[in-house]
């Protein structure tokens, strides 16, 4: 997981590898720490994720709830089948603000 501020005041949290029961607590803790400490929009970039389990879905729901409570914008970048399929099957693609690439997510947050 990497964190990178970007022009416009947002922060991009890049995730790579597998998000499963073992790795999801690290992701959850990183997301919630950002949402507690900062008031800038957050982009969760999942383009380098090769496997996305139910535990990852739970983390995204938890992060969305925390962002809404804090009044912070939250976008998800996802463009691969291993990530999009679970989001679509569960209906989270209609709940989360999902974008196909980072540029699109940043544009949405700025406008």
**pLDDT tens digit string along 75-90?**
999 999 999 999 999 9
Range of the structural domain that residue 77 is part of: 2-110
Count the Cβ atoms, other than its own, within 10 Å of residue 61: 14
80 close to 49: Cβ distance less than 8 angstroms: yes
- Residue 92's pLDDT is what? 96
pTM, to two decimals = 0.93
Tens digit of each residue's pLDDT (9 = 90 or more) over 48-64? 999 999 999 999 999 99
Task: Give the CATH number for residue 20.
Answer: 3.30.750.24
Provide the domain count of the chain. 1
- The rounded distance, in Å, linking the Cα atoms of 17 and 22 is 12
Cβ atoms 37, 8 nearer than 8 A: no
Contact 12, 6 (CB under 8 A): yes
């Amino acid at each position: 997981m990497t964190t990178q501020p970007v022009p416009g005041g947002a922060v991009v949290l890049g995730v790579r590898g597998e998000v499963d029961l073992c790795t999801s607590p690290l992701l959850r803790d990183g997301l919630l720490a950002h949402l507690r400490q900062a008031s800038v929009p957050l982009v969760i970039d999942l383009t380098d994720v090769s496997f996305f389990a139910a535990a990852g879905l739970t983390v995204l729901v938890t992060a969305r709830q925390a962002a809404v409570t804090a009044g912070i914008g939250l976008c998800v970048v996802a463009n691969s089948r291993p990530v999009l399929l679970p989001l679509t099957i569960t209906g989270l693609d209609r709940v989360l603000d999902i974008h196909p690439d980072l540029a699109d997510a940043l544009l949405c947050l700025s406008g």
